[in-house]
């Protein structure tokens, strides 16, 4: 067993020989940098006299993970913020004072006054516009966002070039986008040339998801999307053009289908990969296949009708059909040591909301305690895969393998 850092520092020939018999589980880190007992744990640097951390949506599934993680590091400075004062108070009370409650509505222009003492905002809810983000960047308040809306990410990204930001914003700070971006970056760090990366995501249907997450998923099932492949734009069907992939950890060979995750749109620009695609499947192969057939028959288009959409969202939000497993897989084709090879790496674990929250908490801790240049960045532009994945805890397993193409 070797650490990811050690593997990335090997010569091309050594990498091929060391990994020829893979897949192999690789230990990704000995110490969790988010653990207050870690000697590398730091106190926050100066933020124009600010020290508070606002987690918007802090009493939701992901927000609670972020709050609890950061609350252990910076007790009394973390606020679970949101519109429901009762829920915020009940959650904060359960943390025994490490997290405080705060009533806050980012849609209210008056919320900007709360940024006067906020060094950092972690956004765990979707927004209709970028007004609040603009206020953060103008008031020396750092910003982390877990949203999976590509349109919104593009608008936030534009702020970095247009608004002369005074603080740092990190987007794509979740599972997908987020960990998938880092797996793609791992591919670029191992191979000398990367010609294409295929990303695959397996999600367990046994995990409860909030209404907003279910609505996002339903809408992406319905709408087809455009993708850049080798420099050319192509229209591709959502939940179509299936491919089989071997998932790690005994999950086996699964059919996965195109899905409009932002990572495939972002990575050609941030990492220079000519072709990136993302496909999705569920732990239930039967449900995955049923959705693909329904899409092919054109029946998913019925979900564009508001009444049917509401019904589908309500049903999907209540029914739990499978496990809480998740797995993210990257398969890259490229060149190493003069040969065309296929390199694959993956991360797997349980509870999607848990890993999403921990990725966001890692980024938040690093921005809060470090000195990053102002601007708007995707996760892979600021952080390295070993450090982030190594912070996620014992339940997260990283694997990698080589194969001649």
One digit per residue, the tens of pLDDT, for the chain of length 405 reads 344 544 454 555 555 555 554 455 444 433 344 554 544 445 555 456 799 999 999 999 999 999 999 999 999 999 999 999 999 999 999 999 999 999 999 999 989 899 999 999 999 999 999 999 999 999 999 999 999 999 999 999 999 888 789 999 999 999 999 999 999 999 999 999 999 999 999 999 998 887 888 899 999 999 999 998 887 889 999 999 999 999 999 999 999 999 999 999 999 999 999 999 999 999 999 999 999 999 999 999 999 999 999 998 888 887 778 899 999 999 999 999 999 999 999 999 999 999 999 999 999 999 999 878 899 999 999 999 999 999 999 899 999 999 887
- The secondary structure of residue 304, as a DSSP letter, is G
pLDDT at 229: 84
Q: Where are the domains of the chain?
A: 52-173+352-381, 179-351+399-404
Q: Are 170 and 359 in contact (CB under 8 A)?
A: no
Q: Are 255 and 244 in contact (CB under 8 A)?
A: yes
* Tokens 């000519």 found at: 274
Structure tokens given for 372: 């990053």
Structure tokens given for 310: 């509401």
pLDDT at 211: 83
Q: Are 341 and 378 in contact (CB under 8 A)?
A: no
pLDDT at 228: 84
Q: Which residues contact 244 (CB under 8 A, 6 or more apart)?
A: 253, 254, 255, 256
pLDDT at 321: 80
Q: How far is CA 116 from the centre of its chain?
A: 28
227 vs 241: CA distance, rounded Å: 13
Structure tokens given for 122: 């972690």
327 vs 247: CA distance, rounded Å: 7
CATH architecture of 179-351+399-404: 2-Layer Sandwich (3.30)
Q: Are 194 and 187 in contact (CB under 8 A)?
A: yes
Q: Do domains 52-173+352-381 and 179-351+399-404 have the same CATH topology?
A: no
pLDDT at 161: 84
pLDDT at 44: 52
What is the separation, in whole angstroms, between the first and last Cα of the chain?
25
pLDDT at 30: 34
pLDDT at 63: 98
24 vs 38: CA distance, rounded Å: 27
CATH architecture of 52-173+352-381: 3-Layer(aba) Sandwich (3.40)
């Amino acid at each position: 067993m070797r650490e990811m850092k050690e593997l990335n520092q090997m010569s091309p020939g050594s990498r091929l020989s060391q990994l020829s018999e893979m897949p192999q589980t690789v230990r990704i880190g000995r110490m969790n940098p988010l653990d207050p007992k870690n000697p590398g744990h730091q106190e926050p640097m100066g933020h124009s006299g600010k020290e508070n951390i606002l987690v918007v949506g802090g009493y939701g599934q992901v927000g609670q993970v972020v709050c609890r993680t950061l609350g252990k590091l910076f007790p009394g400075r973390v606020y679970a913020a949101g519109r429901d004062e009762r829920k915020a108070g009940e959650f904060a009370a359960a943390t025994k004072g490490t997290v405080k409650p705060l009533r806050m509505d980012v849609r209210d222009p008056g919320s900007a006054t709360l940024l006067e003492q906020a060094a950092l905002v972690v956004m765990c809810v979707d927004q209709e516009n970028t007004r609040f983000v603009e206020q953060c960047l103008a008031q020396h308040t750092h910003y982390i966002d877990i949203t999976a809306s590509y349109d919104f990410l593009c608008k936030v990204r534009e702020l970095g070039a247009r608004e002369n930001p005074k603080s740092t914003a990190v987007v794509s700070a979740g599972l997908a986008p987020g960990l998938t971006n880092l797996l793609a970056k791992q591919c670029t760090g191992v191979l000398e040339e990367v010609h294409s990366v295929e990303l695959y995501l397996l999600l367990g249907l046994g995990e409860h998801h909030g209404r907003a997450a279910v609505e996002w998923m339903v809408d992406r099932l319905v709408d087809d999307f455009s993708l850049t492949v080798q420099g050319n734009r192509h229209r591709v069907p959502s939940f179509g053009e299936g491919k089989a992939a071997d998932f790690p950890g005994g999950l086996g060979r699964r059919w996965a289908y195109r899905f409009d995750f932002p990572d495939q749109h972002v990575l050609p620009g941030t990492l220079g990969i000519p072709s990136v695609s993302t496909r999705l499947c569920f732990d239930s192969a039967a449900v995955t296949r049923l959705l693909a057939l329904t899409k092919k028959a054109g029946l998913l288009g019925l979900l564009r009708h508001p009444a049917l959409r509401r019904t589908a969202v309500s049903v999907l939000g209540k029914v739990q059909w499978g496990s809480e497993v998740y797995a993210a897989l990257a398969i890259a084709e490229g060149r190493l040591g003069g040969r065309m090879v296929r390199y694959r790496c993956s991360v797997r674990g349980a509870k999607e909301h848990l890993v999403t929250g921990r990725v966001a908490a890692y980024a938040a801790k690093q921005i809060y305690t470090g000195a990053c240049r102002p601007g708007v960045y995707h996760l892979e532009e600021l952080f390295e895969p070993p450090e982030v994945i190594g912070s996620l805890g014992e339940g997260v397993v990283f694997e990698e393998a080589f194969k001649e193409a």
